Amino acid sequence: MTGRLRRCAPLLVSAAGAMIVALDGTVLLVAQPGLQRALAAGPAQVQWTSTGYLVAVAALLVLAGRLGDRYGHLRLLRTGLLGFGAASAGIALAPSVGWVIALRVVQGLFGALLQPATLAVLRSVYPDRELRRAVAVRTGAIAVAAGSGPVLGGVLVAHFGWRAVFWLNVPVVLAAVLLALAVRLPAPERPAPQPLDLTGAVLLAGTLALFVHALAGVPAHGWTAAPALLELSGAAALAAALVVSQRRAAHPIVPSAVTRSVPVTASMTLLLLTTAGLFGSLFTATFLLQGVLGLDPLATGLRVLPLTVLMVLGSPLASAALGRWGPRPTAVTGTLLVVLGVAGLARLSASDAVGPAGAFFALIGAGFAAVMVTATGTVVGDAPPEYAGAVGGLKQTATNIGPTLGIAVATSVGAAASAGPTLLALAAITALGLLPAALLPGNRTSGMSRRRPGPGPGALRVDGRPVRPRRTRDGV
């Protein structure tokens, strides 16, 4: 392997792992109708092919990140890739919908191992300026995968059946694993391994699993149904127990160095709110474009396409803006663009031309690229290397819960019956992201780019001592 390829290999592996997860989620939506017919599955069973995966991923992401911090992120990345691919092959061979649901849960488990590692690998290899660019490339790769998933899934299902979308993962995973085997990470300077907080891990997993399952059931039953109220109450009780447990734990599952970092917590809150607004708006816009404006599915997809294009093109521009102006201006600008785009969609009506829809989706795509690159880069760049997996897991948790929350809000407001008010409500939720965006570092010498001689007031600390990211040998 040449020196240039060796230097790019961690980024390629990280982007490939993120793309596999993003692609799997979007192609599944296209495959579900065929799966339902072929396996004679009921609507609730088909819903569980998505819900089971979401619950497993959300419950285990932070624990997986901590395991990566303890045992090595490359090891978790390779294990996650192999398990994800094996589960995909099993789903493609599944004889019944029960097997599909069970294997989707298994796939979610390995997806949880995989996702935090894709960020932690970047954190352990690249210095600050290169880390910004790597995060931008990874964000663009996710946009390409998510945008092409429905088209690719439609072609595969039309010509080869629903099982083909799961066979698709197998060769892609094998190629990523072979590339991952060639990656060598610098040996970290680690203190003695700390014991895992198993009580905290169980409470956190239970809290997230109940919360996500409750949100996933809102579109069918509503917020006030007995199952939703029971699960939300249970999640709140477990969350309270988790807070008490974490305050007493010698080595909490979520390190205090992370929870006390304003840039990290602000970035994760921003990601949660923005992804909720984005995916809730996409869900609602489907009803608006097809039900109100009378577009067919293909025309609807073409109107949404600018969102993907601007996410891909906007990612490197966001990286450059982040380096020049810093996290706060970039994140605030990106959030405003998303708000304007979502609010613009709310103004469309049956008498309007459909052309402006593409412009509004372009605004959303450009803004979301800026938010993703800034928040992801701040989370990963501000984390001490020994906690890179933990913050990667928290970041992925926010971006997994956000879409489910956004769709739950959209259905409760009335996406199908009143798209305009629903989109305005989602724009308001997105606008709340301006508050955490304003808490991010205000200039380019803050956050990932800081090189201060001494720790500032927001520096991450372990046992009362400041902890800074370290460069590895040769600046890599």
Q: pLDDT digits over 35-85, tens only?
A: 888 898 887 788 788 888 888 888 888 888 888 888 888 889 999 999 999
80: which 2 tokens?
Answer: 């996650």
In degrees and rounded to multiples of 5, residue 461 shows phi and psi of -135, 145
Q: Band the pLDDT of 192: cuts 50, 70, 90.
A: low
Q: What is the mean pLDDT of residues 301-307?
A: 82
Answer with the residue of higher pLDDT: 7 or 123.
Answer: 123
Whether residue 469 has pLDDT greater than 90: no
- In this structure, are residues 15 and 138 in contact, taking their beta carbons and an 8 Å threshold? yes
Q: CA-based Rg of the chain, rounded to a whole angstrom?
A: 21
Q: Band the pLDDT of 451: cuts 50, 70, 90.
A: very low
Q: Which helix or strand (DSSP H or E) is residue 114 part of?
A: helix 97-125
Whether residue 165 has pLDDT greater than 90: no
- Burial class (CB within 10 angstroms; exposed 0-12, middle 13-18, buried 19+) of 423: buried
364: which 2 tokens?
Answer: 């959303």
Q: What is the mean pLDDT of residues 99-119?
A: 91
For position 99, what pLDDT does the model report?
94
SS3 466: strand
β partners of residue 466: 461
Q: What is the mean pLDDT of residues 19-30?
A: 80
Dihedral, CA atoms, 178, 183, 184, 190, nearest 10 degrees? -100
Q: pLDDT digits over 414-446, tens only?
A: 655 577 888 999 999 999 999 999 999 876 544
Distance CA 40, CA 241 (A): 42
- Work out the percent of the chain whose per-residue pLDDT is above 90: 27
Q: According to DSSP H, which parts of 249-326 are helical?
A: 256-259, 262-287, 297-325
Query: Which of 7-11, 23-27, 72-76, 86-90 shows the highest mean pLDDT?
Result: 86-90
Total length of the chain: 476
- In this structure, are residues 95 and 281 in contact, taking their beta carbons and an 8 Å threshold? no
Q: What is the mean pLDDT of residues 148-174?
A: 85
Q: What is the mean pLDDT of residues 169-173?
A: 90
Q: Which helix or strand (DSSP H or E) is residue 461 part of?
A: strand 461-462
For position 144, what pLDDT does the model report?
87
Stated pTM of the model: 0.81
- In this structure, are residues 285 and 233 in contact, taking their beta carbons and an 8 Å threshold? no
Distance CA 447, CA 274 (A): 20
Residue type, 449: S
Apex 56 CA angle, 55 and 62, nearest 5: 105
> pLDDT averaged over the chain?
82
Q: Band the pLDDT of 186: cuts 50, 70, 90.
A: low
Whether residue 89 has pLDDT greater than 60: yes
